Structure 1
């Protein structure tokens, strides 16, 4: 949205919180701080987003002053003091967002070992185990740290999935969101919140004179399109790698095994392993190519690079990446937003978005404090009546430099004064503390969340919980923005393994990533609550064990933990025997095998010697 304001045009969009920065104007200016954005292949509509990413990276690396100096030409900006406050905000938010752990959960998997498990519980448990093994091999926790830090810092992050035949598993990679160029559906065709039909990853490759390589741009494209006939690696007339159609003896294009031609519509249909009863006419194509920058003209951007100038790459197995059929009906790319986008928007906002000017104020105050501390540590002296040495060359008095232990000899009436700036330094430090509290409040991380509050200053744990209320709401919002995206990611992982024929075919079961608690929990209080509630019969044992697991107790599986508890619950087993009189039910409750029918009952021993149970002493 653009609003005319006299002679200026005010841009209101997802990055308008950076409008006060000079770097956000005239982004095409060559030789500027963002000169790389002047590349002809970068679309105009993506310039503000890429400029915002670079600014956020500069703040994270304590280089905002350098960027400002290069942009505005004000050399004093290069001396700006930056002491890591933006990085602390980013890392603190990341820690609260991810929590203590991340766990893949498939609903009903915990009931697979029950006596009467619900339908599909065994399949859920199998999928959960497969996904967890895959996550361990692909270092999912590490990848999430990489991607989520980018999301918190930039506002966006991107995952990409690819099937690796040699490893027989899906590879997970993260991309810098500055390389990500999606093509969203046109307005009126689909909801603006829908997934794109085509995405590009593009970046510049610098000139390498040693290898004789010119400056290039590389673009990786995933796009959905109608299923075509079979192709194979080939070459163009000039010897460049291309894909060629495969034709049969009758001259007609050959179909991929399993595809069939619909005679009524003339389209090719394919049955995917996750939808055996729903043939589809859509597949995903992968292209990976390079273009020389000198071949790109003004009308070319990342969305319409000339196909006749492309040099396609060849995969390790010999496949030419020129619209290679990936045999799936979705784009194996997941875009993560740090916040929930507004209606009609697709991009998120970083944690620094609303407090970026406060961070600038902290840096400015730190710079002033550094200057003030110089005059406080080495004060300015004014001396009158001192006997100063004279420079023999010029005949002028030499400057007086005060050193520790120095003794000045003053004439009668002489004096010395000291310029005391300690009060101003104290004020600046107090202002820094005030600004940090303001940033913590407005970012909703809170002073308690940043660790700048004195715990002893709080009257009770309830007061601490209230002070963390905004942080709880922030974490809930950040996790809500990601919940569906991680469910989609795990669905894609499952289907790619099904397409690779290494996981069972069938309907894809839902799976999700569960984040651990983001704040410390009172484990003793939760344990006491569970013991009382389960003992009083107002809470099931399953719920109690799950509460303990969420509180951080080392419980790996709810059903296994319940079996261990029941195997030692002899008092409850005795009550079950009294209530039912069923010895088989008691043995099953204790996890014991069925009794041998030839084994007689165990004789009971009376509490008083010499008197048996048969005598009626019960």
Structure 2
């Protein structure tokens, strides 16, 4: 009786076709993926970690090295010419666009309006602070690092922290293979978990007399507890211990943190954060611990490592990182999936997932082409009827072969086979581009002399538009969340520049990713602004998206207004206020000249004598008729 083979369908089942990845009952091949088979790795994460390593091997032209572990040394003869890496770089460039810009809605009104309101001023201030922080923190480089992981592996992770020495929030890119969110059976994978681990193994270091270890950094949202301080356990380990005071009756009671309040109805502790109006009962705890592998004898995983064998790290400020209260009500970790996850799923999908089998065929065809090119460049020759049977022949330019009367020399031409193989390679490359929705123009492989018209080019980019649209949709709210966390960390760190700031819905806007008709867009913008159907702010953004060298909307708008003398004249006629006109032009209003002194004419030297007669009685005046 034969047993039916179990079919595994999960977020990583697109790799099931590889025996190296999916062994008996879906367990990855342990020799190829020893990291995934570590005792502390949960079973549900084994296939994910193995998939990450497999994808990284394709990206680094090392897939043959993994295949050698199962298929033998012959697998190392496969040619890998970097096609997966090229696809990853092309998709990454299109997802991020030419540039990335932090924007806060309403910030343009600070310079566009004649009398800006408080909301516009706040938005402009936060936008300036965030852009300055991004420059100091090298945010574009961090985005490149994380996004490349997301495109190639399917997931990217940011970890944020407040650095007291630098007096700013820091952001780092973390390999998703170290990321272990704890998602319960009843939790929605699409929601952010309440507990997150970053865990990895440290190899043995004999020079420093260090054994093989496991390091785990944990963030956890939990109810606010009493204040703690650095202490020492009974066995001499650094830990955090609760602070207590004598209540006057000989009883020790816990001490509340600064600003914390005890809720008499629930018995819990609440705290008001700078970004919340309502009290919160949650805070984020940080733990940084290390275990020796030799001490872990039981059945433990990343979420159940015993505290009794943990060695806790100490921060630069001397605080022991054992459930350290970070004084924030969120976990400063942002997971970026490459694609929109399926319902109730947490993980994204690699851009290489659907085309990995095509890349395998490409590698096989490239290997066959290399072998065929060797026989084409140095052809095989058959010689018969040799005069001296012991003679040895070497095929080279100017060689002379002595043949008998019936001698014959035949060359085997393999160029036709090589031609067919090369055409097959082109067909496979086109198939990979079609499946991944990357047209030739997006890969840069199209001949410029054969480029279609602008309309035809735009239609050919339709699949790319849907691809990038879905990938940017998966990222949009993640970067909004990251910038929200950055603002909250600066408020929690009480940075003076952020005093009184309200958290704004900032966004990281990706630039254009496809060629545009600059002349046509410039004409549209000019007509729209002149006709009054679009604003100058919208027009400038359209020009930026088209690739015009404009760095900032507000600065460009100020430069334009500073030369708009005709508009200033109309403004003066409408308002009659020179101060508003000068503000519009970005200049100082001229001082008002003093009005000239009014000089009255001198009094007459011949005063009029009133003789008392009524002028109307003069006969010369008549009685009101014509003289």
TM-score, scaled relative to structure 1: 0.91
| Structure 1 position 123 matched with structure 2 position 122 | yes
RMSD value, Cα: 2.0
- The answer on whether the counterparts of 1:273 and 1:506 sit within 8 Å (CA) in structure 2 is no
Given the alignment of the two structures, is residue 415 of structure 1 paired with residue 408 of structure 2, yes or no? yes
**Greater shift in the superposed pair: 539-548 or 510-519:** 539-548
Q: Identify if the C-alpha distance between structure 1 residues 317 and 374 changes in structure 2 by more than 3 Å, giving closer, same or farther.
A: same
Q: Mean alpha-carbon deviation: is it higher for 530-539 or for 331-340? A: 530-539
2: CA distance, partners of 1:468 / 1:6: 48
User: Do 1:273 and 1:505's aligned partners in 2 also have CA atoms closer than 8 Å?
Assistant: no
1:231 to 224, 228, 234: 228
Judge conservation of contact 2:283–2:329 (CA < 8 Å) in 1. yes
Pair 459,167 (structure 1): closer, same or farther in 2 beyond 3 Å: closer
Alignment of 1:324-403 (within 5 A): 324-388=324-388, 397-403=390-396
What SS is found at the alignment partner of 2:291?
A: strand
Give the 3-state SS of the residue equivalent to 2:593 in structure 1.
Answer: coil
Preserved contact between residue 101 and residue 515 of structure 1 (Cα < 8 Å): yes
Please state how far the C-alpha of 1:30 moved relative to its aligned partner.
8.0
**Per-residue CA shift, 1:68-105, capped at 9, x if unaligned?**
111x2333211100000000001111111111111111
| Deviations, residues 334-384 of structure 1 (Å, cap 9, x unaligned) | 001000001121100111011110011110100010111111111110011
Q: Distance in 1 between matches of 2:333 and 2:280?
A: 20
1:88 pairs with one of 86, 89, 111: 86
Q: 1:537 offset after TM fit, Å?
A: 2.8
In the TM superposition, what are the counterparts of 1:296-307 in structure 2 within 5 Å?
296-307=296-307
8 Å contact kept, 1:110–1:557? no
1:519-569 CA distances to partner (integer Å, 9 max, x unpaired)? 232222211221222223332222222222222323333333233223322
* Alpha-carbon distance in structure 1 between the residues aligned to 2:492 and 2:388: 90
Counterpart contact for 2:106–2:124, Cα < 8 Å: yes
Mean alpha-carbon deviation: is it higher for 457-466 or for 7-16? 457-466
- The alpha-carbon distance between structure 1 residues 343 and 400, as it changes in their structure 2 partners (threshold 3 A), is same
Q: 1:559 to 1:318 in 2, by over 3 A?
A: closer
Q: Which residue of 2 aligns with 1:308?
A: 308
Question: CA separation in 1, counterparts of 2:80 and 2:536?
Answer: 53
Matching residue of 1:222: 219
Deviation track 1:577-616 (CA, whole Å, cap 9, x = no partner) reads 5667776665554444434332689xxxxxxxxxxxxxxx
Match of 2:203 in 1: 206
Check the 8 A contact 2:188/2:345 in 1, yes or no.
no
The alignment of Structure 1 onto Structure 2 pairs a total of residues equal to 586
- What is the SS of the residue equivalent to 2:246? coil
Counterpart Cα distance in 1 of 2:38 and 2:147: 28
SS, match of residue 327 in structure 1? coil
> For residue 261 of structure 1, what is the aligned residue in structure 2?
262
The structure with the larger Rg is 2
Q: Paired residue for 2:510, among 509, 515, 522?
A: 515
Residue 609 of structure 1: aligned partner: none
Contact 2:338 2:474 in 1 (8 A): yes
Q: Give the alignment of 1:131-146 within 5 angstroms.
A: 131-146=130-145
In the TM superposition, residue 442 of structure 1 has moved relative to its aligned partner by: 0.6
Matched ranges for 1:395-474 at <5 A: 397-474=390-467
Indicate how the Cα distance of structure 1 residues 298 and 429 shifts in structure 2: closer, same or farther if over 3 A, else same: farther
Please report how far the alpha carbon of residue 59 of structure 1 lies from its aligned counterpart in structure 2 after TM superposition: 0.1
What SS does the aligned partner of 1:11 have? Answer: coil
Structure 1, gaps ≥5 residues long: 390-396, 602-618
Task: Give the stretch that moved more between structures: 592-601 or 29-38.
Answer: 592-601
From 514, 531, 534, the equivalent of 1:536 is 531
Give 3-state SS (helix, strand or coil) of 1:463's partner. helix
Q: Counterpart of 1:171? A: 170
Cα 1:545–1:31 change in 2 (3 A) is closer
Query: 1:608 aligns to what?
Result: none
Structure 1 residue aligned with 2:591: 596
Q: Is the 8 A contact 1:24 1:51 kept in 2?
A: yes
In structure 2, the residue corresponding to 1:492 is in which secondary structure? helix
Aligned-partner Cα distance in 2 for 1:34–1:317: 39
Deviation at 1:491, TM superposition (A): 0.5
